[in-house]
Amino acid sequence: MAIHAQGEEREKTIKEAQENLKTLERALKGNFFDGEAVGYLDIVASSIALWVGIMEEITGVIFLDAEIMPRLSSWIKDILSVDVVKESFPTRDKLLTYYKAGVQPTHAP
């Protein structure tokens, strides 16, 4: 994982994550992976939508550049506004607090 790796390993992990996100970008067929309606892949991938922003904030690394992956960036906003998805996840703030608590000690000087 990029937040725990250092040096070349960190750069390699970040690049791999970005390439994986680009694969999702190419798979989008409209607002969602199945076109204009939420489908199975949208639900499966919905956790990525929440975690990408959290990982970016924690690491300071931009994994998903909206200019490079505009459809995926829009999909994240769209999927996180779907009621069943919103009801299934803890709030972003709760996840961020939880994750920061677990990550901070590993990055202390």
Annotated domain spans of the chain: 7-107
What does the block give as tokens for 12? 């390699």
What does the block give as tokens for 22? 């680009």
Split at pLDDT 50, 70, 90, the class of 59 is confident
Q: Cα–Cα distance between 100 and 91 in angstroms, integer?
A: 14
Q: Which residue has the higher pLDDT, 49 or 1?
A: 49
Q: 106 pLDDT exceeds 80? A: no
Stretch 35-57: mean pLDDT: 92
The reported pLDDT for the residue numbered 12 is 92
Split at pLDDT 50, 70, 90, the class of 3 is low
Architecture in CATH for domain 7-107: Up-down Bundle (1.20)
Q: Residue written as tokens 């680009």?
A: 22
Split at pLDDT 50, 70, 90, the class of 2 is low
Q: 92 pLDDT exceeds 60? A: yes
Helical segments of the chain, H only: 7-27, 40-59, 70-79, 83-88, 92-103
